[in-house]
Structure 1
Amino acid sequence: MSKIRQIVQLFFEDDHPTETKQKFYRWFLAPISESEKEKALFEQWNRIESIADPSTKDSFNEVIARFGVDKRKQRLRVTPKLIRIAAVLLIPIITSLAAYLYVKNSETQSVEFVEYFTPNANLRTIDLPDGSSVTMNYGSIIVYPRNFTAKRREVFLSGEAKFTVSHDKKRPFIVKTNDMNIEALGTIFNVSSYVENSETIATLVDGKVRIDMKNSEENFILEPSQQIVLDRETGKTFIRQAKLELELAWEKGYLSFQNADIEDIMQEIQRKYDVRIYANYKEIKGEKLTVKFTPDESLYEIFKTIQLLINRFNYRIEGDNIYIY
């Protein structure tokens, strides 16, 4: 067995201290022996798959979608796969996924991490070490240092969350996503940054935030009730007035959308109801909706309403599987 295969196997066979995990990620990020690392990775997948339950592959595909690297950038072909597989097949290593995401998106290299993951069909509110609070939407993950000891309070988000930030004039509070950094001082704002969605959106409720884009040198200042939208397909960014009652309705269990792409709507339905949607979007691609569904509406009622709003929208519900054609 090669040394690389031994390292990968040892990583998966036991839990490790945070420092060891971070060293492993940095080694795996290094652009050397990528082909051998990939082979070792899939050996682990094939080995563990034989003892996984029947839903493992579906979960695996879901995590691939949620934590995937931007396909347009194609920077690292191997590394994200390791963490995705770990997240699904070895649930205790979800902390490893969190640490990896933070290291990948932060300048901080030596720190103890805390992560929270909110599964589909669940909402969660947590308190951060500085007294700030975060309400997390379905299928979201947040990563942050156990103690905010640096000059900046930095957290990493994949998914959607509403932040109520504790005021600290000397230490800016920064939310990092794959597409933008949102900096705030004593403010309330919402961030939606699911990797599988076509847009990243930051909405200011109260106070003031600064947005630094990662795909350009642009930065923006938002006023209350404004939101910034990044279209991941075109790379274009724009600011618009937000309907806060729609943007924040998810906290109370509502499904609400403001000029949302039909594909993003289907992703949100998947997360809230923990179902699988198989869709052929050819006939309805580009359709957008502004609509709000109450917490007690069933899947049947939701899809019936969408069918009334969009021509050529046909669907079939079979248990936890939904087919759109």
Structure 2
Amino acid sequence: MAETFFKNIISRFTKKKYSEETEMKFRYWLSQNKENEEVEKAMFELWNETPNQITDQTLEDLAILKSEIANEATPKKSVRFLHNPILKYAAVFLLLLTTSIITYISTQPKEIAFTEYTVPKGETKNITLADGTVVSINAGSSLIYPKEFVANTRSVFLTGEAIFRVAKNPDKPFIVNTNHISVRALGTAFNVQAYAEFDNTTTTLIEGKVRIKDNYSPEHYDLDPNQQLIFDNSNHKIELKKIDAEKATMWEKGYLIFENVAFSEIISTVERKYNVQINYDEAQYIEYACNVKFKPDESISDVMSVLCELTTHAEYEVNNNQIIIHSVE
């Protein structure tokens, strides 16, 4: 049967160590066949054959890998592939099944039931976790969390941006994992920004205390209120600075506040908030960094008019459901 053929192909790649380039091509091939029913059947068979039980660490790695896979629209030279067989099986399984993997995992004996909560563009949402922690999730973000915190830590996995108001429990630290850093707290309030398309992963402490560790070195950093840690996702450098945490988290109330922010990052934020697609020549605006504030009641037309004024010699037009920015002489 066809699924046996696919199963043999996939199994070879999960059981043997191939070159990084070959594995990269395999992942890309798999992503292009993710709607193939026979491939999906093969994934289910491989998953069911693995005797290993899922641990908290496995789930953390799954969340990291999911973020990486989501960004792989085309083959790239730099691809990290997990060499633990259970994680490899889970990786390809996760590529085919997004939210449904959570349901699948919850049916396995002695395993933790996880939920994936995704907030679409144009919206923000508040949720309360099982321990009483309140999370405000920004547009275009996704949070994976257990229905019950049964382990020694309270671990969640974030892609995007969210404010965490952590319920106090000294015996169970609360950990927010992202693709590049993890933030550890006992009872506190902080903001984490970890959008895949941004160059940096940023943590802002509102109150309490957090400890931050990146995924590439043993060092850790403790923040005090109104401090912000900026982690460069490319060169892994860290910047600590004093800021106004209230201003940095005003997105929760509908404000957009940009202070010396790159034009490309502003555009991405506006796209998420208003659920629009904005096309422009990024190279033409690469040198622009803007200081601007938008109130909750300002329309997308208001925002675009201001942005075009700030960049000078630019105007915008609406074409179907897209906004196009172009320069004018």
Corresponding residue for 1:133? 134
Q: Which amino acid aligns with 2:70?
A: F
In 1: Cα distance, 2:16 partner to 2:252 partner? 40
Shift of 1:237: 1.3
1:169-180 paired onto structure 2 within 5 Å? 169-180=170-181
Please point out which of 42, 55, 65 is paired with 2:32: 42
In 2: Cα distance, 1:168 partner to 1:301 partner? 45
Corresponding residue for 2:206? 205
The number of equivalent residue pairs is 281
Q: Say if 1:4 and 1:37, in contact at 8 Å, map to a contact too.
A: no
Q: Say if 1:283 and 1:312, in contact at 8 Å, map to a contact too.
A: no
Change (3 A) 1:44 1:161: closer
Q: Say if 1:204 and 1:225, in contact at 8 Å, map to a contact too.
A: yes
1:60-99 paired onto structure 2 within 5 Å? 67-68=70-71, 73-76=78-81, 83=94, 86=97, 93-96=98-101
In 2: Cα distance, 1:211 partner to 1:285 partner? 30
Shift of 1:203: 0.3
* Matching of residue 215 in structure 1 with residue 216 in structure 2: yes
Corresponding residue for 1:184? 185
Corresponding residue for 2:160? 159
In 1: Cα distance, 2:17 partner to 2:102 partner? 20
Change (3 A) 1:110 1:30: farther
Shift of 1:150: 1.1
Corresponding residue for 2:300? 299
In 2: Cα distance, 1:82 partner to 1:323 partner? 38
Corresponding residue for 2:44? none
Identity of aligned residues (%): 31
Q: What stretches of structure 1 of length at least 5 have no aligned partner?
A: 10-23, 49-62, 87-92, 101-108
SS at match of 1:282: helix
Change (3 A) 1:41 1:188: closer
In 2: Cα distance, 1:139 partner to 1:66 partner? 16
Q: Say if 1:135 and 1:162, in contact at 8 Å, map to a contact too.
A: yes
Cα deviation code 1:119-149 (max 9, x no counterpart): 1111111111111110100011111122111
Shift of 1:313: 4.0
Shift of 1:259: 2.4
The range that moved more, 71-80 or 276-285, is 71-80
Cα deviation code 1:43-93 (max 9, x no counterpart): 344789xxxxxxxxxxxxxx999932696842149997875664xxxxxx4
In 1: Cα distance, 2:104 partner to 2:262 partner? 32
Q: Which amino acid aligns with 1:295?
A: P
Corresponding residue for 2:267? 266
Change (3 A) 1:164 1:313: same
Alignment root-mean-square deviation, CA: 3.6
In 1: Cα distance, 2:77 partner to 2:154 partner? 30
In 1: Cα distance, 2:69 partner to 2:161 partner? 12
In 1: Cα distance, 2:139 partner to 2:208 partner? 26
SS at match of 1:264: helix
In 2: Cα distance, 1:8 partner to 1:143 partner? 30
Q: Say if 1:98 and 1:143, in contact at 8 Å, map to a contact too.
A: no
Length-normalised TM-score, structure 1: 0.74
Q: What stretches of structure 2 of length at least 5 have no aligned partner?
A: 39-65, 83-87
Corresponding residue for 2:321? 320
The range that moved more, 231-240 or 183-192, is 231-240
Corresponding residue for 1:16? none
In 2: Cα distance, 1:8 partner to 1:118 partner? 35
Q: Say if 1:145 and 1:155, in contact at 8 Å, map to a contact too.
A: yes
The range that moved more, 151-160 or 282-291, is 282-291
